[in-house]
Amino acid sequence: MADSQYPYPPDRFDDEADAVSFHGAHRAEEPFWRQNLLYIVIIGAALVMLIVLLFLIGGMGGGGDERAEDPTTPAASETSSAPADEETSEEEAPPEADKSVPVLVVNAGGVNGLAGAWQDALEGDDWADVSLSTADNQQQEPVVFYRDEEDKETAQALAAEVGAGEASQSDEYDSPVTFVAVEMPDEGGDGEGDGGEG
C-alpha cells in the first residue's frame, strides 16, 4: 500500500521502518571458508613450506652421514694398525751401542775392586774407553747416565747390558756415559773366558 493511501498518521514505527535499508529481502550469510579465506591460504602455504623443508633436510642429512661414515672407517682402521706396527718395530729393534763412547764406571757399592771388575768386563765386551771413579755415598740400585741426547741409545744399550734398567739424562758427571755400579758383575767368569779367547 502506498504511503499516500495510508489512512493513519505516521508514528515512531514508520520512522524505524524508513531507517532500515532492507525491506523484506535479506542477503545470504557467507560460508565459513569464504569468511576465513586469507587465514586458510596462509596456513596452507606454511604447511607446504614445512613439508618441503623437512624433505630437504632429510635428504641432506642422510647423504652427509653416508659420506662421513664411509671415509672414516678405513681411516680409523689404518690409524689403529699403524701405531701397533711402529710399537712392534721399536720393541724388536734394540738400541745400538757406540762402544767408542767414553764410559765412566763409578763404584757406589762400597766394595773394593768393584769398578775395576766392571772395567774388565766392559773392555772384554769391546767397550774401548772405560775409566774408573768412586762415589762419595753408597747407592742401592745401579744407574746409567748420559749427558747428551746423541748418547742416549749407547747409554740405554749399556744399561741393558749391565742390568741397570732405563738410562737417565744427567749433568752430574763429565763423562758422556756413566755407569754407577753397586754390585760385582755376574759374568766375571765369562769375562775371563772372553779375555782368553781374545
Can you give the CATH number for the domain in which 152 is found?
Answer: 3.30.70
In a domain, 46, yes or no: yes
DSSP result, 34-53: HHTHHHHHHHHHHHHHHHHH
Report the distance separating Cα 127 and Cα 143, nearest Å.
18
CA 116 to chain CA centroid, nearest Å: 50
Tens of pLDDT, residue by residue over 64-115, are 445 445 555 555 445 555 555 555 445 555 567 788 888 999 988 888 888 8
| Chain position carrying cell 742390568 | 163
In a domain, 12, yes or no: no
Tens of pLDDT, residue by residue over 38-67, are 889 999 999 999 999 998 988 776 554 454
Residue 117 shares a structural domain with residue 171: yes
Give residue 88's domain range: 34-92
How many domains does one find in the chain? 2
In a domain, 24, yes or no: no
Residue 116 shares a structural domain with residue 158: yes
Report the distance separating Cα 160 and Cα 146, nearest Å.
14
Please give the single-letter amino acid code of residue 96: E
Burial (CB < 10 A; 0-12, 13-18, 19+), residue 153, is middle
